[in-house]
Amino acid sequence: MGKVLTIGEAMGLLVAESEGPLDQVKHFERHVCGAELNYIVGMARLGFDAYYVSRVGNDPFGTCICNFLRENHIHDTYVQVDDAYMTGFQMKEKVSCGDPKVANIRRNTAFTHLTAADFAGIDWQGVQLLHVTGIPLALSDNCRQAIAFLMEEAHQNGVPVSFDTNLRPMLWPDEQTMCDTVCKFSLKADIVLPGLSEALRITGLADEKSIGQFYLDHGVKTVAIKLGGSDGVYVCTAEETHYVPSYHVDHIVDTVGAGDGFAAGFTSGLLDGLSLYDAARRGAAIGALQIQVAGDNEGLPTRSQLQEFQERAK
């Protein structure tokens, strides 16, 4: 399998062990989290040579993140350890179903001080894909400059870039800045993976077909728009378009990580040479597996688990 890179802020995660408001729960279980972290876990479990680009603090959460990467066969070669700033972390409610409330403690963290100089040692030989999201763009000017530099470096080295919009309004100063910035960066990518509600906000357009055409007209090669829930995915290139159905799930436990799972499934499918339709079906399958378990990435499958699920769910 070829090399895949992603960049993002991995954080510590404290998950409540009982239901209730975070300020009243007394016991938490420690994990690690981050949308890009979920993505690269998914790619590693599918057998890709996975590299994570980040910066963490010289603290217990930072050590935990580096240990987690190694345990999941993800290279931490490009993870910088910062002695001056802390690793960010989240607190997450326990819920019996649906989306849990999350509190972010991530201002002025180590990752927000990432610079383009941190990428000087990246070896692009053999890299098949760089995956980025809209989350780091919200964190600091440094992060925006670093992401722009890394995307440009990827293209100069002939490496395609995938972009998952991943809007986080609470991290931005205002709606317009968020939409303008994320739209600008998404147009620099080769593959764009927005949710429909996000894409409507970013582009101001009315439906998935016009959004897909907007991206194609601006040079994006492949667009996969997650329509939400059981509505599946709309995928398009200059040559073809498809509506791809989702997989039925009897009981949804935790929706966190579903979009990251889709991104891993879809991009890995394209890298494996699957058709556009089949790549989207793989993404839908991994998203369906992820929402059936608690945790941000615990449901992301190996290839054998993925194959078993897709054969069983036909």
Backbone dihedral angles phi then psi of residue 289, each to the nearest 5 degrees: -65, -40
Residue 131 has pLDDT above 90, yes or no: yes
Tens-place pLDDT, residues 62-94: 999 999 999 999 999 999 999 999 999 999 998
Residue 257 has pLDDT above 90, yes or no: no
Residue 251 has pLDDT above 80, yes or no: no
pLDDT, position 28:
96
**260 part of the active site:** yes
Tokens (6 digits) for 61:
């959460």
**By the 8 A CB rule, do 36 and 112 touch?**
no
Say how far apart CA 182 and CA 146 lie, in whole Å: 14
Residue 98 has pLDDT above 70, yes or no: no
CATH number of residue 306's parent domain = 3.40.1190.20
Strands 161-164 and 127-133: parallel
**In angstroms, what CA-CA distances link 200 with 120, 141, 227?**
36, 25, 11
Average pLDDT of every residue of the chain? 94
Share of the chain above pLDDT 90, in %: 83
pTM: 0.95
Catalytic: which of 217, 260, 278, 296? 260
pLDDT, position 255:
77
User: Of 3-17, 88-102, 196-210, 229-243, where does mean pLDDT reach its minimum?
Assistant: 88-102
Span 106-128, average pLDDT:
93
Q: How many CB atoms lie within 10 A of CB 47?
A: 13
Any idea how long the chain is? 314
User: Of 16-30, 202-216, 245-259, 296-310, where does mean pLDDT reach its minimum?
Assistant: 245-259
Residue 120 has pLDDT above 90, yes or no: no
Residue 155 has pLDDT above 90, yes or no: yes
Tokens (6 digits) for 59:
């603290």
Span 297-313, average pLDDT:
90
pLDDT, position 249:
83
Number of folded domains that form the chain:
1
Which residues partner with 5 through β-bridges? 51, 130
Which residues partner with 127 through β-bridges? 3
Which residue range forms the structural domain that includes residue 45?
3-312
User: Of 19-23, 148-152, 228-232, where does mean pLDDT reach its minimum?
Assistant: 228-232
Instruction: For residue 256, name the pLDDT band (cuts at 50, 70, 90).
Output: confident
Residues 6+ apart with CB under 8 A from 39: 6, 8, 131, 133, 164, 260, 263, 264
